[in-house]
C-alpha cells in the first residue's frame, strides 16, 4: 500500500486542527482565570467578599440519562440492518462476512443493558 502526498497533507492538516483546538481551549481557560483573578483583586481592594468558585465547572450533573439507550438502539439497529444487507447481497464466496458488524450490535445491546441495569442504583 503506497501513500500519496495528499494523504500526508490530510494527516498533517488533521493533526494541526486538533492541536489548534487544544491550544485555543487552553487559551480560553487561561483568559477566564485571568479575568476571575482580576475581579478578585479589585474586590479585595474594595473589601467586598466574593464566594469561592471552582476553576472548572462540574460537568457531571449535566449528563443526559437518555444518551446511552439512544446510542445503544442506534448502534444495534444499524449493525443488524448491515448484517441483513450483507447476508442478502454478498457473493457466495464472501458470504461469511455478514457477521462483521456483530461487535457493534453487541456494543449497542451492552450500552442499553448498562443503562437499564444501572438505573436502579441511582435511586
Q: pLDDT by residue (tens digit) across 86-108? A: 999 988 888 888 899 999 999 99
pLDDT at 21 over 60: yes
pLDDT of residue 106: 96
Instruction: Give me the residue spans of the domains in the chain.
Output: 1-58, 63-118
pLDDT of residue 48: 85
Q: Give per-residue pLDDT as tens, 38-88.
A: 988 888 888 888 777 665 666 565 677 788 899 999 999 999 999 999 999
Instruction: List Cβ<8 Å contacts ≥24 apart for 111-119.
Output: 111/68, 111/69, 111/71, 111/72, 111/75, 112/68, 112/69, 112/72, 112/73, 112/76, 113/72, 114/68, 115/65, 115/68, 115/69, 115/72, 116/69, 119/65
Read off the pTM.
Answer: 0.50
Amino acid at each position: 500500500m503506497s501513500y500519496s502526498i495528499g494523504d500526508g497533507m490530510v494527516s498533517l492538516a488533521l493533526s494541526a486542527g486538533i492541536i489548534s483546538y487544544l491550544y485555543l481551549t487552553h487559551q480560553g481557560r487561561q483568559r477566564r482565570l485571568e479575568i476571575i483573578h482580576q475581579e478578585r483583586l479589585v474586590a479585595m481592594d474594595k473589601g467586598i467578599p466574593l464566594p469561592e468558585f471552582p476553576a472548572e465547572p462540574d460537568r457531571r450533573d449535566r449528563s443526559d440519562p437518555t444518551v446511552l439507550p439512544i446510542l445503544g438502539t442506534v448502534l444495534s439497529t444499524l449493525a443488524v440492518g448491515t448484517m441483513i444487507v450483507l447476508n442478502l447481497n454478498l457473493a457466495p464466496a464472501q458470504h461469511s462476512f455478514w457477521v462483521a458488524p456483530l461487535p457493534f450490535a453487541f456494543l449497542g445491546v451492552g450500552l442499553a443493558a448498562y443503562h437499564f441495569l444501572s438505573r436502579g442504583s441511582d435511586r
